[in-house]
Amino acid sequence: MSIESQINRLRELLPSSVRLLAVSKFHPAEAVEEAYNAGQRIFGESRPQEMAAKAKVLPKDIEWVMIGHLQTNKVKMIAPFVSLVASADSERLIEEIEKQAAKNERTIDILLEVHIADEESKSGWSLSELREYLSSGALERMEHIRVRGVMTIATNTDDEAIIRRDFNNIRTIFEELKPRFGEAFDTLSIGMSDDYPIALEYGSTMVRIGTAIFGHRVYN
């Protein structure tokens, strides 16, 4: 199936309240353009250099979302144009996003990445670390960051019960934090190509789909 037909198929499957984040990392700009021509506007990249290169040659109304671990020294590469940093996983990174957003005289939206999965290799705040950070009041003092919600990646397993456990846990955290941030805190980003149908059951408002749109990635 073509990229366009895959996007149309996903649109039919997803509720209107759920945003489709097309994970275009490691795919060429031509593939992004094909998805754009099919009406897709939100794309996820994991490497700042790749995101910046694509942003230069692709339409300016694309919403670029940073997914995956972001090094603090790379924030400045994407700060002028990034729409959302979906992997805000440390105090140091958030401080740098605030600094670079201020330099560019803009506000950058972020998602707090929470570590829920069994694998220690996955990034994100532990719940205790996140609560401690939030209690410090540091986020409230930042004028160029807007916290839009939370993100997590479920345990990589075929055991559906574990995936459901992870999604239920992050939904609980989302509901716990929502009163702190108000109406802008509206994004629960869970679910990828293999598990997004389950994520929808747990209230996902943004699913990250790569393989089911673009096919398998070309690594270089």
Per-domain boundaries in the chain = 3-214
Q: Using one digit for the tens of pLDDT, what is the confidence trace for 120-152?
A: 777 899 999 999 999 999 998 999 999 999 999
Gap between the Cα atoms of 190 and 205, Å rounded:
8
pLDDT single digits (tens) 96-120? 999 999 999 999 999 999 999 887 7
CATH H superfamily, domain 3-214: Alanine racemase (3.20.20.10)
pLDDT, residue 117, reads 86
Distance CA 106, CA 109 (A): 10
149 phi/psi in degrees, rounded to 5: 160, -155
How far from the centroid of its chain's Cα atoms is residue 190's Cα? 9
Write down the pLDDT at residue 215: 87
Match 């408002």 to its residue by tokens. Answer: 205
Residue 17: pLDDT band (50, 70, 90) is very high
CA distance 160 to 137: 37
Tokens coding 129: 């670390």
The pLDDT score that the predictor gives to residue 217 is 65
